[in-house]
Amino acid sequence: MEFRDLALYPFLRDATLFVKERQLGLDDLIGHTITAEARRRGKSRVLTALSDLAIPNNPVTSEDEAVQEILSYPYARILVSCIGDEALVRRYALAEAKTFNERLKKEDVTTIIALAKELEVEASLEEGTLRVHFTDFLSYTSGLRGPEWKLVNQDMRKGFVLLEKNKFVRVLEQALDEKIEDELPLPVNDELLEAVRVDLEDVIAALDAYKEKYRDEGFGEVSILKFPPCMKKLVAMAQAGQNMPHAGRFALASFLSFIGMPVDDIIKLFCSSPDFDQSKTAYQVRHITGDGYGKKYTPPECATMRTNGICFEPDELCNGRRVNHPLTYYRIRSYDKSRDKKAEKTVKPS
């Protein structure tokens, strides 16, 4: 690959070799003036991931600029690792993966196949059509919802799934996302922390601002103590910034709406998601809750929750009192709490 290509895909082994040939190592990246631009670009990778869920498209017109751009990738990973925040790791990994997706869409199929193999995805061409081995397809689409991603709906031949370019690229996006998440955070020591301290301060401030902007302000009059196990788990996933399936987001948003949580608070609950987008989330939540869109969707019943793989650790109430819907569980718990309070009021002190 040419130096411009290596700068676009700095995770490639050839990109690492390209830098090593110039005898630049970790010490040079951290403290040498010759790599100051790489450090600036690396910090920008992390800050832009937080603000825009993207990686900057910096100009690369020479081999020297390519070196700076390639080195910005390990420097960004160092900054993310020094902070060690799970939400930051997920947000940064997703930003790198989504930018990778956009760049891949402009590449020819031969280049795409080469990049797939770099990510250890078994892929090839069949009569000009991209194809991926069904095991890799299943591995990287397990979290993608919709009939278009079900294996039974794919064109599969001799163990390979044939895909049109955009869907194939989406599989590779997921592969890079998982690769980066699995690799980070890297081990760091006090010396490294001190060396990047100034840049860390800027990233930490941006991370705090990102979290504060959409911080959940609590459940108000809604009591999480009355939630069924499935909804408690989904709330925990949302607050931890874990990617949950679309079915889980729909179930949680519709459930919270039905028990009286304000729409704005429901939107804020999803703010820690690594792919959080204020306008898109607001539209989806308002559509589900009927806020300004007419129809209000009912939460799925327990059987549907089980089918969608989002029924988590059912307790005694789930199994023993004919509960067939999360709202039924919540009403029973609410009734029990109300009855307990009335009983407390009728007991007179001796």
In whole angstroms, what is the distance from residue 32 CA to residue 26 CA?
Answer: 10
In whole angstroms, what is the distance from residue 273 CA to residue 314 CA?
Answer: 25
In whole angstroms, what is the distance from residue 128 CA to residue 252 CA?
Answer: 43
In whole angstroms, what is the distance from residue 287 CA to residue 34 CA?
Answer: 52
State mean pLDDT over 216-244. 78
Neighbours of 350 (CB within 10 A): 3
Q: 156-182 pLDDT, tens per residue?
A: 999 999 999 999 999 999 999 999 999
279 pLDDT above the threshold of 50 = yes
In whole angstroms, what is the distance from residue 291 CA to residue 312 CA?
Answer: 28
88 pLDDT above the threshold of 70 = yes
Q: Percent of the chain at pLDDT above 70?
A: 89
The token duo for 161 is 């799934």
In whole angstroms, what is the distance from residue 304 CA to residue 34 CA?
Answer: 58
pLDDT band at 219 (very low <50, low <70, confident <90, very high): very low
Least confident of 96-105, 123-132, 317-326: 317-326
In whole angstroms, what is the distance from residue 280 CA to residue 76 CA?
Answer: 27
Residue 29 pairs in a beta bridge with none
The token duo for 182 is 């699995």
- Global pTM value: 0.69
pLDDT band at 220 (very low <50, low <70, confident <90, very high): very low
Domains of the chain, residue spans: 3-84+185-198, 105-179, 224-345
Neighbours of 155 (CB within 10 A): 11
